[in-house]
Structure 1
Amino acid sequence: MPRLSTVSTSNSSSSPAIVAVDLVKKFGSTVALDAVSFTVPRGSVFGVIGPNGAGKTTIMRALLDLIRLTSGHATLLGTDSRNAGPELRRRIGFLPGELILEGRITGRRLLRHYANISGPVPAGRVDELADRLGLDLDRTVRTLSKGNKQKLGIVQAFMHQPDLLVLDEPTSGLDPLMQQVFLGLVDEARTAGQTVFLSSHVISEIQQAADQVAILRDGRIITVAGVEALRDTAIRHLRMSATAVTAAELYARLSPLAGLGELDCQPAPGGAEATAILTGAISPFVQAISPLRLTDLVVEEPDLEESVLRLYSAPEVARTEAVHS
């Protein structure tokens, strides 16, 4: 397993933690990355989401110079990744998506080996992380389940408190409780000023963890936005009932609203009821219904996952319009 984790060094530079410019990677005639560009500020959590095969792992391996780019360039912590010598690598914690561990020794001995290569670990740090994750370090690695091996990988990435954490599908194999423990570690790293770059195909995980998110499809970034900005434009399902109004009158009042789609108005006892999907701002909707005598109103939490999945599946022209809007 590539080893890129070590103790953090202080760095007061205000330059971004990662700058990627027009990254292109081709495997023969297959274009795995197609002009990918993004910037990750220091002390932030940057998430990349996309379906399997979108290019998430390729981006990470290219950033760390584990595979060479066809064209484009990237800097990590102010250093060109192609010139990533031991000094830079010691400031990076890496958890690969395909975790391969020596199986004949205990987890404790394996972590001690990594610490000997990349530098000292704060006293008690390994045991603290293992306790939080429920990991027995004295068991032989080959006897561990997939989830416990993943925990061991998380410990090796976090134990040195590196300046930059690069985590590929970090919660793979973890149960929901341990996923929340992991998200707590990410939040603590951000609070400590560390930068976290992580990938996932689990949208809810990115929604909880990230400050910014890049949506990746077929080796291209569809959009980069703050999680809150995505939530503001996300899909809300709504249901309402009103008295002293007909279905036709309710439809006439609601249908002109921007961002209101799949509107259905039906007669109801004493009035009418409506269901709709809202993709725009909620204020115009509230203003439109304010004169009505409501008997029921339910507006669901914005569904970021549904919005992102629509971006995955939309044709190119429609995706471009959605991103610009």
Structure 2
Amino acid sequence: MDVLTLTNAADAPFLNQQQAALERRGVRFETLSVAGDAIGENARGPLEYLRFFRTVRHELRRGSYDLIHAHYGLTAPMALAQRRVPVVCSLWGSDVHGPVAPVSRTCAPFCDAVIVMSEAMADALGRACRVIPDGVDLETFRPGSQAAARDRVGWPTDEHAVLFPYAPDRSVKNYPRAKRIVDRVDSRLERPVSLRTISGVDHDEMPHYMNAADALLLTSHSEGSPNAVKEAMACDLPIVSVDVGDVRERLEGVSPSCVADADDVLVDELASILESGARSNGRRAAREVSLERTTDAVLEVYESVTGLERVDQRRTRVTRS
């Protein structure tokens, strides 16, 4: 199966992981990305998206594809500018709950299939879609020695380390609230409490930070199915989170963990987790969203919209009545 991927984040680890897993199942990808960055001096704007129409059109004339997979709602119009090739659209969260949501809602009915990360996103979109969270690689993210992990990442051993795995300037992640909560916890406990913000590191290094930390703190304004939560679960790292995206569903039965909206509750629960020093039982629940399982689900979507299935390692077109 030959798939043309359209995205505005070609370097997203979860996208690359998903494609690599699908390639192991016989899918071939060509990826086109919108020029520019999400933020900063080289931030992309409407002009970059308009130019992307021409890039996609040129590629479709040059190559032959069984499917177009548009990742993020703003790339869906480019996929739908033609009607010869089936279109799957994956929505990531902010394109359903944020300012670009009207684009996603307008395009969704014209796609052959829509993938969202949580039931909340499906409800917000208001149409039939497949709920498939991004999968977690259980071989990469696994429990390990905290002492060895702290030595590797250079954190001191005489503090409670609370992991905030995002850049502080990503406003949707709400760093000020995370700092406020950790400052309050720090004033309660004898042992110092440090809020450790991590961004821009190689994704393969993240398990070391997960194992070095005592808890993960999530305070985002909105999410779809946050990968950091699933990766922390796979490392048995306790999680304290606001009630956002599918976090409550993912953490059902995971202990210790906390999902709440009030600062007082988040402070109390984080303090309790840090004082206990316990790890969680999250890895068992993380198996429900393993990369293998979610890849199987995405491949089922691909096969259903193209009519292509693999039989004895050969490509076969299935005739459907």
In terms of fraction of residues, the more strand-rich structure is 1
Fold shared, TM-score > 0.5 on shorter chain: no
Normalised by the length of structure 2, the TM-score is 0.29
Greater RCO, 1 or 2 (C-alpha within 8 Å, sep 6+):
1
Q: State the structure with more CA Rg.
A: 1
Normalised by the length of structure 1, the TM-score is 0.29
In terms of fraction of residues, the more helix-rich structure is 2
